[in-house]
């Protein structure tokens, strides 16, 4: 899993990522702790961690021009896929599916009505193919029609014993340690932490304080209608109605933040297209702001999905290439401020860099100096154009990639993890593994084939020495005809003969 920096207060941290976006940190599901002096011990040292620490220091120091008063220190976290596991399907959807038998018992007329009939059949493949409209019907009958107190009691009972099908651990135990650490770190520095989720507001409120240390009143989520009334004894009650008040996803997130928090976040965390507007809204504020994205790319310790970076596509926590590209937008602006001119020749590229801009980027607090007499710095780079798939790539040096391709490295890591899972004997077929992991059969088949790449090819890819033409998409495509002979593999993939 990677945590990607969308924006930050540290230009120094951003400059450190210009050479390779792949150098961003990878917080894991289960990690060892470091020294107690480190506020974020489970985080890899890197731009994201540095930016968070710098943001907290700048916004809590009264002498800093970026100081933020305590009442405005707002931090928002998406839940599914950002603070706990969301695959193969959202936890609340599992709850609703498991509630169907009880609902049908109370309403027998639903027994032979779709989609309830399919859920009662227990056919996992058929259930997985239910449409969004079908799921909405299921959610409507399982999340409404009872009092708020009855709903809270039901969820409390279920969440206390419900376990993830792959990990066989309570859902409430499958939280991400790095996120728990950053929540705690922010609160210790006067920040108020909120969960802003597309999940049900009342559902998350049941366990939020126990799991995240966030009280129920700091949960902003999708909310259904509530009706005031009286029970048979005349006691006032609130009843959940099948009427949507707030769809707290996509644009609904900043709308919900305004309605329920009333202030713009200083820092926000997300992991999918449903979080984009919340992150944009956070970044659009004045002063110091930070927005970060979690990218899931670890099949062995968790899950890998995208489709960004060649990862498997998914409808649960979709992370598109467009969303991935957001992480480099601010870096592009910095590059534009540094580069004065670029000249591309047949065998080299000349780049003129603004010396003054470089100094101000690295040392933003340094006093300005006259720029008229400062000569630019000129870089000469050996390079040529070469066809790569359907496009043309700029090849630096002799044609080796020279830098690790994050997508290719991820494919190799996932292939090795898939082979290890097969060797462990838990699944007896590709179909069985795909079903258990909640991914497409074709994606698993590609990984199985890639697990038989020669050790030399694997080693070359992991150190960034693959042919420039070899992209993640091309590697996945060529795996369909991957020969067993290692020399033939090198020829097919464009490596020089060994």
Class of domain 1-88+166-326: alpha beta
- What is the distance of C-alpha 391 from the center of its chain? 28
Q: For position 390, what pLDDT does the model report? A: 60
Q: Is 87 helix (H, G, I), strand (E, B) or coil?
A: coil
Q: For position 17, what pLDDT does the model report? A: 34
Q: What's the CA gap between 356 and 256, in Å, rounded?
A: 43
Q: What's the CA gap between 81 and 300, in Å, rounded?
A: 16
**Exposure string (b/e) for 475-488, b if CB count within 10 Å is 16 or more?**
bbebbeebeeebee
The per-residue pLDDT for range 216-251, each reduced to its tens digit, is: 999 999 999 999 999 999 999 999 999 999 999 999
Q: What's the CA gap between 139 and 90, in Å, rounded?
A: 12
With a pLDDT cut of 70, the percent of the chain lying above it is 86
Q: For position 387, what pLDDT does the model report? A: 65
Q: What's the CA gap between 188 and 116, in Å, rounded?
A: 47
Q: What's the CA gap between 421 and 429, in Å, rounded?
A: 11
How many beta carbons lie within 10 A of that of residue 409, not counting itself? 20
Return the closest-CA partner of residue 6 out of 364, 258, 333: 333
The per-residue pLDDT for range 47-56, each reduced to its tens digit, is: 899 899 999 9
- Order of strands across the sheet with 339-344? 339-344, 348-353, 377-388, 391-396
Q: For position 453, what pLDDT does the model report? A: 95
Q: For position 336, what pLDDT does the model report? A: 76
Q: For position 247, what pLDDT does the model report? A: 96
Per-residue pLDDT of the chain (498 residues; tens, 9 = 90+): 778 777 544 433 333 333 333 333 333 333 344 445 899 999 988 889 989 999 999 999 999 999 999 999 999 999 999 999 999 999 999 999 999 999 999 999 999 999 999 999 999 889 988 998 999 999 999 999 999 999 999 999 999 999 999 999 999 999 999 999 999 999 999 999 999 999 999 999 999 999 999 999 999 999 999 999 999 999 999 999 999 999 999 999 999 999 999 999 999 999 999 999 999 999 999 999 999 999 999 988 899 999 998 899 999 999 999 898 877 666 666 777 788 888 888 788 888 888 887 776 655 555 666 655 678 888 888 877 766 656 666 666 655 545 688 889 889 988 988 888 888 888 888 988 888 877 788 889 999 999 999 999 998 998 888 998 899 989 999 999 999 999 999 999 999 887
Q: 375 is written with which tokens?
A: 């000569």
Q: For position 169, what pLDDT does the model report? A: 95
Q: For position 301, what pLDDT does the model report? A: 87
- DSSP lists the bridge partners of residue 229 as 237
Break the chain into its structural domains and give their ranges: 1-88+166-326, 331-396, 406-493
Q: Which helix (H) or strand (E) holds 48?
A: helix 47-60
Q: For position 13, what pLDDT does the model report? A: 37
The per-residue pLDDT for range 335-365, each reduced to its tens digit, is: 777 888 888 887 888 888 888 877 766 555 5
* Residues in CB range of 44: below 8 A, 6 or more apart: 25, 26, 27
Q: What's the CA gap between 466 and 460, in Å, rounded?
A: 6
Residue 498 CB-half CA count within 13 A: 12
Is the distance from CB of 97 to CB of 123 less than 8 angstroms?
no
- What is the distance of C-alpha 442 from the center of its chain? 23
Q: 477 is written with which tokens?
A: 């495509």
């Amino acid at each position: 899993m990677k945590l990607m920096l969308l924006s930050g207060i540290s230009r120094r941290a951003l400059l450190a990522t210009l050479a390779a976006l792949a150098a961003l940190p990878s917080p894991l599901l289960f990690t060892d702790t470091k020294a107690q002096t480190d506020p974020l011990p489970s985080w890899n040292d890197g731009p994201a961690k540095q930016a968070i620490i710098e943001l907290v220091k700048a916004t809590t120091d009264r002498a800093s021009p970026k100081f933020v008063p305590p009442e405005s220190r707002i931090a928002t976290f998406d839940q599914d896929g950002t603070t706990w596991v969301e695959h193969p399907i959202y936890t609340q959807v599992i709850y609703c599916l498991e509630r169907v038998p009880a609902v049908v018992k109370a309403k027998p007329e639903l027994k032979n009505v779709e989609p309830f009939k399919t859920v009662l059949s227990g056919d996992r493949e058929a259930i997985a193919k239910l449409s969004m409209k079908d799921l909405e019907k299921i959610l409507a009958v399982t999340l409404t029609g009872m009092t708020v107190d009855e709903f809270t009691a039901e969820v409390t009972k279920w969440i206390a014993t419900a376990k993830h099908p792959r990990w066989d651990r309570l859902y409430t135990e499958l939280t991400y340690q790095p996120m728990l650490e950053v929540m705690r770190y922010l609160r210790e520095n006067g920040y108020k932490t909120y969960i802003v989720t597309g999940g049900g507001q009342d559902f998350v409120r049941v366990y939020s304080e126990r799991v995240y240390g966030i009280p129920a009143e700091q949960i902003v989520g999708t909310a259904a209608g509530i009706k005031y009334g009286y029970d048979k004894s005349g006691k006032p009650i609130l009843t959940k109605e099948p009427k949507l008040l707030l769809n707290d996803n996509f644009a609904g997130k900043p709308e919900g933040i305004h309605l329920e928090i009333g202030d713009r976040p200083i820092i926000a965390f997300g992991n999918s297209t449903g979080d984009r507007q919340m992150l944009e809204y956070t970044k659009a504020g004045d002063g110091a702001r930070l927005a970060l994205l979690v990218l899931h790319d670890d099949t062995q310790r968790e899950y890998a999905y995208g489709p960004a970076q060649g990862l498997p596509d998914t409808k649960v926590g979709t992370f598109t290439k467009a969303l991935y590209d957001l992480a480099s937008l601010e870096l592009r602006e910095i590059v534009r401020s540094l580069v004065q001119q670029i000249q591309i020749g047949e065998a080299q590229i000349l780049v003129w860099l603004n010396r003054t801009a470089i100094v101000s980027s690295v040392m933003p607090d340094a006093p300005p100096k006259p720029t008229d007499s400062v000569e630019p710095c000129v870089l000469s780079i050996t390079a040529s154009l070469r066809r790569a798939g359907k496009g043309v790539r700029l090849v630096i040096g002799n044609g080796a990639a020279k830098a690790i391709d994050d997508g290719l490295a991820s494919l190799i890591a996932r292939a090795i993890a898939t082979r290890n899972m097969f060797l462990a004997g838990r699944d007896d077929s590709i179909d069985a593994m795909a079903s258990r992991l909640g991914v497409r059969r074709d994606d698993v088949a590609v990984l199985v084939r890639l697990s038989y790449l020669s050790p030399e090819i694997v080693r070359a890819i992991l150190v960034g020495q693959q042919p420039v033409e070899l992209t993640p998409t091309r590697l996945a495509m060529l795996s369909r005809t991957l020969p067993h002979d290692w020399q033939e593999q090198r020829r097919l993939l464009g490596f020089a003969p060994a």
